[in-house]
Amino acid sequence: MSYFEWHPYVPVAEKRRQAQRKLAKLRKQGQSVAPVTIEGRTIAKTFWGKSWCANLERYSDYATRIPRGRSYVRNGSVLDLQIAKGEIVAMVAGSSLYKIKITIAPVKAAHWKAICRDCAGAIDSLVELLQGRMAKGIMDRVCREGDGLFPSPEEIKLSCSCPDWADMCKHVAAALYGVGARLDEEPQLLFVLRGVDENELLASAGQDLALARAAPSGAKLLDDSDVAALFGLEMAGPATSDAVIPVAPKRGQRSATLSGRKTPAVKIAAAAKKSKPPHADRTKSGRTIPASAGKKGTPQRSQRGL
């Protein structure tokens, strides 16, 4: 059969069996492979996988070969898919086993900084980012056409060992769809492929948070002299270590201010003592002498003590 003749139709089930036999042969040879397995007809189920596939389909450059690629990846024809920085390497089973190499340019530094700046402060969880559970505005910015994280056709170089003359052959398309399915399982591979660190999105968020919590600069603070000049006050000078601190007197001790004064109770007692008549004085022998004794004209009489 010549090259330009149509190949006989092979049912989908038979294609799947052929792919499995080739896969088993590779593993028997000791080759480490990571096949793409699709359950059902849905290629990608998560946010990042769907976004990757949608990005491929919106470029008219790939429109002619993409449908065949979807059929191949669903049939399990992508026997191996490896994703590294700026490179995708795959093996796709067709009429033979074809090797695919896809080179993707890394994100430019200014481009990546713009994404981080636009998303600063809105991404505080790397888990939520990778699961696609961030706010719609953030995810739209990351996936935006032209200046998002997904590559454009100008940033992609394709090669396949098959005899198809088209750059985007069905085997390459199957490998690119396989990337979308792989992102369902490992979404961080998108950042690896584009040569950026997803933690920088969190770093920019933390930096903005630190700036928001920063203390006011010293130039905006008023010292005591500025306050005094502003309100016309005389500010007291700073206290020195020689200043005497008053101590409260202990219970039972009089303070120095009260020691030289008489309380009203003391004054009343003194006045009452003056108003009382003089008492008889008692002698050493026990006899009492009236206070009136010894006065002129008054008889003196001794009395025995009672």
Half-sphere exposure of 22 (CA within 13 A, CB side): 20
User: Distance (Å, rounded) from C-alpha 253 to C-alpha 251?
Assistant: 6
- Would the CA dihedral through 289, 292, 297, 299 be positive or negative? negative
Amino acid letter, residue 138: I
Is 73 contained in some domain? yes
Is 157 contained in some domain? yes
- The values of phi and psi at residue 173, to 5°, are -60, -40
- pLDDT tens for the chain, 306 residues long, are 444 455 677 777 777 788 888 888 888 888 888 999 998 889 999 999 999 999 988 876 677 778 889 989 998 899 999 999 999 999 998 888 899 999 999 999 999 999 999 888 788 788 888 888 888 888 888 888 888 999 988 899 999 999 888 778 999 999 999 999 999 999 999 999 999 998 888 765 444 444 344 444 443 444 445 434 533 444 455 544 454 555 555 554 444 444 445 455 545 555 555 555 554 444 444 454 454 444 444 444 444 443
Half-sphere exposure of 61 (CA within 13 A, CB side): 12
Is 176 contained in some domain? yes
Is 23 contained in some domain? yes
User: Distance (Å, rounded) from C-alpha 250 to C-alpha 276?
Assistant: 37
Is 59 contained in some domain? yes
Half-sphere exposure of 208 (CA within 13 A, CB side): 14
Nearest to 82 by CA among 94, 55, 100: 100
Is 166 contained in some domain? yes
Tell me how many domains the chain contains: 1
pTM over 0.75: no
Domain enclosing residue 99, as ranges: 12-107+151-195
Is 17 contained in some domain? yes
